[in-house]
Amino acid sequence: MREAVLLQGGYVLSMDAELGELPVGDVLIEDGAIAAVGAGIEAGGAEVVDVSGHVVMPGFVDTHRHTWQTPFRGVCADWTLGDYFRAVRMSISPNCSAEDVYAGNFVGALEALDAGVTTILDFSHCNNTPEHADAALQGLLDAGIRAMFAYGYYPAPVASPAFTAHGQRLADARRIREQKLSSDHGLVTMGVALTEVGLVPFEETIAEARSARELGVPSVLHTGCNWGSPATEGIPELDHHHLLCAEQVHVHCNTLDDRNLRRLAEHDCKVSSSPETELQMGMGHPVIGRALELGMRPSLSCDVISSNSGDMFSQMRLGLQFERCMRNDVFNARNQMPEALDLTVRDALRWGTANGAHAMGLEHRIGSLTPGKQADVIVIGGRRLNLSPMADTVGCIVAQANPANVQHVLVAGRFLKRDGALVGVELDRAIGLAQTACERVLGAITAGGQPLLPPAPEGFADVIDTIAARHLARAWSIEVDTPAPGA
Ligand SMILES: [Zn+2]
């Protein structure tokens, strides 16, 4: 018998250009896929779920989350990017065991699902050993979320490294691709996450970017987020070596000038903006508006749960209101008021759903409630004061909803959250896993009274900048031997 569910009588925000919005509509799900969207659909043998008074929409897509950092929730809330780098990337990361990474990815993926995020691009850059990578992947699989496991090549400064040569990291990513994620059609698929351009010799950057092509998977990297430094720059250098391509997500991009952002657009690269982290840590203005002007389709991401929220409501709101502020500023600078707002809550919804699917190369499968696509569906509403009544439904969802309003979450047609509770999850056990990882790792670092964030060593930023400048300069003397994409 076919497994079928009919979500009946909700406000359907399909995010599909042809189907649009149905103030009262039904969504029929069969065998994990969207079978039909419309009004008055016959239930047939389907289980009927009354969603009247609720919004039915595609699940959110987060295009950049370091899920492994979930146990360290909030530690960076008052930190700059430099503070984050020194404490999390150079101290917390090397102290994480494979079990800690498992806890982060498992509990972090559950947190995402609870908030209606059905797909994450897991920028997984705590692969200190092959067991870390296995554990990170297992956490995603056990949570049941749709994800791209983007194997991070970042070499955390561990005392006795398991990988003693860069090539061993590339080989380990190949192991995962061949042995665990060989299919591009599963719930969890493979990607690679590059080390920040400039932090490693450019030969290694080339090898990391080429590995994505050799494995036949997308890549993701942090780009243009460190003002006044060559680290995370390198767009001309990547372009020179034919390493910009459509299957590549560039995260942040705040520092890129118009020419380099246009270069990304011309190569059909994708962008991911993390408004909450960027506004806090000194990365600058989210790139959403500038990307839109270039015809790009910006996506959104939560980035670091070690600092900020893990829900896309927050990212949509911060991204939208920031861009509105930028546009309103033009009028305010002339001592005028804007006559209208030209970015809408529906634009923000698109950034958080369809554009994310597009960025991850998954738009043929997810991102809208289009018949034939996978049934990654969320239902938002319920008897909560913050959504009662929804005088303007879409306005309420974008401007006022939060994870507690997410009633049902389905991934590939399977209920992972139902009636406000995660399905089949032992919550106490999950919380215990994260708590144990938090206490173990932070306890090890702060034993003996050490601060979690020690003062920066003298000239620390200058050293990074000098190394990055040297690595980028080297790019121009390395022979170009990567064929242009599509060549
Ligand atoms: Zn990041």
DSSP β-bridge partners for residue 406: 380
Residues 232 and 195 sit within 8 Å (Cβ to Cβ): no
- Tell me which residues have their CB within 5 A of the ion that is ligand 1: 303
Instruction: Look at residues 173, 209, 174, 152 and name the one whose alpha carbon lies nearest to residue 475.
Output: 209
Please give the distance, rounded to the nearest whole angstrom, from the Cα atom of residue 193 to the centre of ligand 1.
Answer: 10
Could you say which DSSP state residue 389 is in? S
Token duo for residue 375: 């049934």
Residues 121 and 95 sit within 8 Å (Cβ to Cβ): no
Token duo for residue 108: 């972090």
What length is written for the chain?
487
Please give the distance, rounded to the nearest whole angstrom, from the Cα atom of residue 255 to the centre of ligand 1.
Answer: 15
Cα gap 154→397, rounded to integer Å: 37
Cα gap 332→297, rounded to integer Å: 27
Please give the distance, rounded to the nearest whole angstrom, from the Cα atom of residue 377 to the centre of ligand 1.
Answer: 26
Q: Alpha-carbon dihedral of residues 196, 200, 202, 205, nearest 10 degrees?
A: -50
Q: Quick one: pLDDT at residue 476?
A: 97
Please give the distance, rounded to the nearest whole angstrom, from the Cα atom of residue 180 to the centre of ligand 1.
Answer: 24
Please give the distance, rounded to the nearest whole angstrom, from the Cα atom of residue 303 to the centre of ligand 1.
Answer: 5
Cα gap 24→12, rounded to integer Å: 7
Cα gap 249→193, rounded to integer Å: 9
Q: Quick one: pLDDT at residue 384?
A: 95
Please give the distance, rounded to the nearest whole angstrom, from the Cα atom of residue 447 to the centre of ligand 1.
Answer: 27
Please give the distance, rounded to the nearest whole angstrom, from the Cα atom of residue 395 to the centre of ligand 1.
Answer: 29
Please give the distance, rounded to the nearest whole angstrom, from the Cα atom of residue 304 to the centre of ligand 1.
Answer: 7
Report residue 16 CA to chain centroid gap: 22
Please give the distance, rounded to the nearest whole angstrom, from the Cα atom of residue 164 to the centre of ligand 1.
Answer: 25
Q: Quick one: pLDDT at residue 485?
A: 80
Please give the distance, rounded to the nearest whole angstrom, from the Cα atom of residue 63 to the centre of ligand 1.
Answer: 10
3-state secondary structure of 435: helix
Token look-up 């979500």 returns: 7
Q: Quick one: pLDDT at residue 2?
A: 63
Please give the distance, rounded to the nearest whole angstrom, from the Cα atom of residue 199 to the centre of ligand 1.
Answer: 15
Please give the distance, rounded to the nearest whole angstrom, from the Cα atom of residue 453 to the centre of ligand 1.
Answer: 19
Please give the distance, rounded to the nearest whole angstrom, from the Cα atom of residue 324 to the centre of ligand 1.
Answer: 24
Token duo for residue 293: 């002007």
Please give the distance, rounded to the nearest whole angstrom, from the Cα atom of residue 254 to the centre of ligand 1.
Answer: 13
Please give the distance, rounded to the nearest whole angstrom, from the Cα atom of residue 267 to the centre of ligand 1.
Answer: 22
Q: Is 448 exposed, middle or buried (0-12, 13-18, 19+ CB in 10 A)?
A: exposed
Cα gap 259→326, rounded to integer Å: 20
Please give the distance, rounded to the nearest whole angstrom, from the Cα atom of residue 214 to the centre of ligand 1.
Answer: 24
Please give the distance, rounded to the nearest whole angstrom, from the Cα atom of residue 29 to the centre of ligand 1.
Answer: 34
Please give the distance, rounded to the nearest whole angstrom, from the Cα atom of residue 483 to the centre of ligand 1.
Answer: 28
> Is the peptide bond preceding residue 389 cis, with omega within 30 degrees of 0?
yes
Please give the distance, rounded to the nearest whole angstrom, from the Cα atom of residue 128 to the centre of ligand 1.
Answer: 17
Please give the distance, rounded to the nearest whole angstrom, from the Cα atom of residue 305 to the centre of ligand 1.
Answer: 10
Please give the distance, rounded to the nearest whole angstrom, from the Cα atom of residue 49 to the centre of ligand 1.
Answer: 38
Token look-up 């146990």 returns: 71
3-state secondary structure of 41: coil
Cα gap 22→187, rounded to integer Å: 28
Amino acid at position 116, single letter: G
Cα gap 33→410, rounded to integer Å: 10
Please give the distance, rounded to the nearest whole angstrom, from the Cα atom of residue 438 to the centre of ligand 1.
Answer: 20
Please give the distance, rounded to the nearest whole angstrom, from the Cα atom of residue 221 to the centre of ligand 1.
Answer: 8
Please give the distance, rounded to the nearest whole angstrom, from the Cα atom of residue 219 to the centre of ligand 1.
Answer: 13
Q: At a CB cut-off of 8 Å and minimum separation 6, what does 32 contact?
A: 3, 374, 375, 412, 413, 414
DSSP β-bridge partners for residue 221: 250
Per-residue pLDDT for the chain (487 aa), expressed as one digit of tens each? 468 999 999 999 999 999 999 999 999 999 999 999 999 999 999 999 999 999 999 999 999 999 999 999 999 999 999 999 999 999 999 999 999 999 999 999 999 999 999 999 999 999 999 999 999 999 999 999 999 999 999 999 999 999 999 999 999 999 999 999 999 999 999 999 999 999 999 999 999 999 999 999 999 999 999 999 999 999 999 999 999 999 999 999 999 999 999 999 999 999 999 999 999 999 999 999 999 999 999 999 999 999 999 999 999 999 999 999 999 999 999 999 999 999 999 999 999 999 999 999 999 999 999 999 999 999 999 899 999 999 999 999 999 999 999 999 999 999 999 999 999 999 999 999 999 999 999 999 999 899 999 999 999 999 999 999 999 999 999 999 988 887 6
Could you say which DSSP state residue 96 is in? -
Q: Is 429 exposed, middle or buried (0-12, 13-18, 19+ CB in 10 A)?
A: exposed
Please give the distance, rounded to the nearest whole angstrom, from the Cα atom of residue 223 to the centre of ligand 1.
Answer: 9
If one counts every other C-beta atom within 10 angstroms of the C-beta of residue 442, the result is: 17
- Long-range contacts at 431-439 (CB < 8 A, ≥ 24 apart): 431/107, 433/102, 433/103, 433/106, 433/107, 434/70, 434/71, 434/73, 434/103, 434/104, 434/107, 435/71, 436/103, 437/71, 437/96, 437/99, 437/100, 437/103, 437/104, 438/71, 438/72, 438/73
Could you say which DSSP state residue 334 is in? T
DSSP β-bridge partners for residue 190: 149
Residues 196 and 232 sit within 8 Å (Cβ to Cβ): yes
